[in-house]
Amino acid sequence: MTNSFNEFAKAKMFMVIGSNMTEAHPVAASFVKNAVLNGAQLIVVDPRKHPLVDFAKVHVPIRVGSDIAFLNALMHVLIKEDLYDHAFVSSCTIGLDELKQKVMNYPPRESFRNLRDRD
């Protein structure tokens, strides 16, 4: 988690990846739940169906070990389809050009093909 609990109430969306916050971070989970009850959206990316999933608009039950492929594919789509906040990225981040170069090598189909090949 990178934000203070006070900022949770201002969030429009949360994405929780690979964390059962209700067990590992119950205080943080309560702030997320309160934000969701007040209109924020929640996406849970986790193979487990833990209690936080009940508050999620979307549950993505990825396979164990596929989180990096998922994140690379997600960044690929966000950049390729121009679905990110340009003002925020330009004022609050560095290295977008390097990130673009890297994640363009990981379209969703290719990212997950590598996982299937491991089985």
pLDDT tens-place string over residues 50-93: 999 999 999 999 888 888 889 999 999 999 999 999 999 999 99
Residue 103's contacts (CB-CB under 8 Å, 6 or more residues apart) are 72, 75, 76, 79
Of 60, 75, 103, the domain-final residue: 60
Question: 100 pLDDT exceeds 80?
Answer: yes
Give the pLDDT band of residue 117 (cuts 50, 70, 90): low
54 and 13 part of one domain: yes
Q: Measure the CA–CA gap between 56 and 7, rounded to whole angstroms.
A: 19
User: In this structure, what CATH number is given to the domain that contains residue 30?
Assistant: 3.40.228.10
Domain end point (choices 36, 60, 84):
60
CA dihedral 25, 27, 31, 33 (to 10 degrees): 70
Checking if the pLDDT of 106 tops 70, the result is: yes
pLDDT at 114: 58
Q: Which amino acid belongs to residue 14?
A: F
Tell me what pLDDT residue 6 has. 84
Domain check: are 53 and 72 in the same one? Answer: no
Which residue range is the domain that position 100 belongs to? 67-118
Are 54 and 71 in a shared domain?
no
86 and 107 assigned to the same domain? yes
Give yes or no: residues 22 and 55 share one domain.
yes
Q: What pLDDT, on a 0 to 100 scale, did the predictor assign at position 2?
A: 61
The pLDDT-based confidence of 14 (bands split at 50, 70, 90) is very high
Q: What percent of the chain has pLDDT over 70?
A: 91
Number of domains in the chain: 2
Mark whether 74 and 114 lie in a shared domain: yes
Q: Residue 116's pLDDT is what?
A: 55
Task: Tell me, yes or no, whether 46 and 75 share the same domain.
Answer: no
